[in-house]
Amino acid sequence: MRKIITGVAAAVVVAVGALWAFASVQPAAAIDPAFAGRQGDAVHGAYLARVGDCVACHTAKGGAPFAGGLPFDTPVGRIYSTNITSDREHGIGGYTFEQFVLAMRQGVRKDGARLYPAMPFTSYAKVSDADLRDLYAYFSTQVPASAQPNHASDAIWPLSIRWPLAYWSRAFHDDSRYVADTSKNVEWNRGAYLVQGLAHCGSCHTPRGVGFEEKDLSGKSDLYLSGSSLERTAPINLRSAAGGGLVNWSKEDIVASLKTGRNPHSSVSGPMGEVVEHSTQYLSDGDLGAIAVYLKSLGGSADSTPFHADDTTLKSVLAGQATGRGASIYIDSCAACHRQNGQGATRVFPSLVDNPMVTQANPDSLVAVILGGARLPSTASAPSPLAMPPFGWRYGDDDVAQLATFIRSSWGNKGAAVTADQVAKVRARVAAN
């Protein structure tokens, strides 16, 4: 028996050693020689950093820009974003261009350690050599150095071991650049390049699998950008689908949402508000239009049911016949701003009618706004301090569930009922933040 145990143990050690040895092989940067020695354009690099919204993830509350330390709760535990300033010890100031490319495209640090896929290198792999060169020029020459040390992850052993991530990449990572679709025009391809690449929209808006991988990275299926669940929020479906998608949004509506955070159909909330404030409001009109063209080209599922407005709810409210608990709370606490017809006031109070955040299958974002409130992003073209107050202190889980159910089933909306248990789970997350 002792010999058997010893033999098994030895076999396990050899197997683990072989797996470690394979995982430790560092991938190549795969850079076109024409760009290896080229001087980057730091001004354009600063614009690209806006497209990628790098500051949002790599800046902790109250911290120096790009100095890292922002916490992220992941399936393996809490991890922290890294310092990407020009500091040579704690940041990326000591990175060569080749090492920068490896981090961006392969998720491999200068020391060879693997980055968790919370870093969207699966999207950044599509970015061109020219754009990465400009990004490198910006971060290495224009971003002030910060000596803030990097925060070790809170993941427990063995989840804290990073070399197995090489096998995650082997299973889920496609290390190929964006290739233009010759059947589409220049504007469509520019939008696809931005959305699939630096803007990494799929990181939030595409559902993930059991390995935390995005189920589609390139729009090959209807899963791409079809909405997801993320830390008790529900990023909306960006496809032209009914029942929670953008089928009724025009190109101009999408541009307005990205530029100002609001349009006649909806307004952004939660993390998307920060995306608008820090990133998309700064994009050129041409790039915003290209993104909109690309998104409008993404169809919905075949069984989508078109939206039809319904005035039954309004009539019942006006007749004093809307007596359910959800209706009563809405009339008392919501109707003053969002109106009895649910349509709000354009660019001020968002409509709740055929609003993707309201009607989508996952109600978490709607519940989070009811509990914790929301604030419209303040942008150069639409400066605004307007905010919705939180109601979590005033109403219990069952009350909020009934209110959300009323909103999701009124004025033609067809959202499913919300339960008190669903509200309780979102409340725990809102309280934690």
Q: How many CB atoms lie within 10 A of CB 347?
A: 17
Over residues 387-392, the mean pLDDT reads 94
Name the packing angle between helices 251-260 and 271-278 (round to 10°). Answer: 90
Q: Is residue 17 part of a domain?
A: no
Rg of the chain over all Cα atoms, to the nearest angstrom: 24
Taking Cα atoms as reference points, which of 292, 296, 214 lies closest to residue 247?
A: 296
- pLDDT tens-digit series, residues 327-381: 999 999 999 999 999 999 988 899 999 999 999 999 999 999 999 999 988 888 8
Task: Indicate whether 404 belongs to any domain.
Answer: yes
Same domain, 160 and 37: yes
Inside any domain, residue 222: yes
Torsion sign, CA atoms 58, 62, 65, 69:
negative
- 62 with 139, same domain: the answer is yes
pLDDT at 236 over 80: yes
Same domain, 140 and 249: no
User: What local confidence, expressed as pLDDT, does residue 21 receive?
Assistant: 45
Q: What is the DSSP letter of 28?
A: P
Specify the amino acid at residue 357: M
How high does pLDDT run on average in the chain?
Answer: 89
Do residue 139 and residue 37 come from a single domain? yes
204 assigned binding-site residue: yes
Is 54 annotated for ligand binding? Answer: yes
18 located within any domain: no
Question: Are 62 and 155 in a shared domain?
Answer: yes
Portion of the chain with pLDDT greater than 70, in percent: 90
User: Do residues 30 and 165 share a domain?
Assistant: yes
pLDDT average, residue stretch 167-187 = 94
Model pLDDT, residue 14: 42
How confident is residue 29, by pLDDT bands cut at 50, 70 and 90?
low
337 annotated to bind ligand: yes
CATH code, domain with 423: 1.10.760.10
Q: Look at residue 129 and tell me whether its pLDDT is greater than 60.
A: yes
Let me know whether 260 and 358 are in one domain: no
Chain-centre distance of CA 321, in angstroms?
A: 41
- The residue ranges of DSSP E strands in 71-129, in sequence order, are 71-74, 77-80
Least confident of 18-27, 219-228, 321-330: 18-27
Q: Beta partners for 349?
A: 345
Distance from C-alpha of 345 to C-alpha of 364, rounded to nearest angstrom? 24
Considering 270, 296, 322, which residue would you say is the last residue of a domain?
A: 296
Cis peptide, bond prior to residue 117, ω within 30 of zero = no
Asked if residue 130 is part of any domain, the answer here is yes
Looking at residue 103, what is its pLDDT? Answer: 95
End-of-domain residue from the set 170, 194, 219: 170
**Are both 365 and 391 inside the same structural domain?**
yes
pLDDT at 305: 64
Band the pLDDT of 192: cuts 50, 70, 90: very high
Q: Is 278 annotated as a binding residue?
A: no
Domain CATH code at residue 267 = 1.10.760
Query: pLDDT band at residue 24, thresholds of 50, 70 and 90?
Result: low
Instruction: Return the DSSP state at 415.
Output: P
Q: Are residues 123 and 158 in the same domain?
A: yes
What's the confidence (pLDDT) of residue 102?
95
* pLDDT above 80 (res 23): no
How much is the pLDDT for 17? 45
Does one domain contain both 229 and 140?
no
The structure tokens listed for 335 are: 């109707």
**Residue 241 contacts residue 300 (beta carbons within 8 Å):** yes
**How would DSSP label each residue in 191-209?**
HHHHHHTTT-THHHHS-B-
Number of domains in the chain: 3
Confidence of residue 123 (pLDDT cuts 50, 70, 90): very high
State the pTM of this model.
0.89
Are 119 and 201 found together in one domain?
Answer: no
In a domain, 19, yes or no: no
The phi and psi torsions of 175 (rounded to 5 degrees) equal -90, 75
205 labeled part of a ligand binding site: yes
Dist CA 197 CA 51 (whole Å): 10
Give me the mean pLDDT over the 398-422 stretch.
96
Span between the terminal Cα atoms of the chain, in Å: 54
For 313, list phi and psi in degrees, rounded to 5. -65, -45
Residue 305: inside a domain, yes or no? no
> Do 119 and 91 share a structural domain?
yes
Q: What is the pLDDT of residue 76?
A: 80
Give which of 180, 218, 220, 222 is closest to 202, Cα–Cα: 218
Predicted confidence at residue 317, as pLDDT, reads 85
Domain range for 149: 24-170
The reply to whether 308 sits in an annotated binding site is no
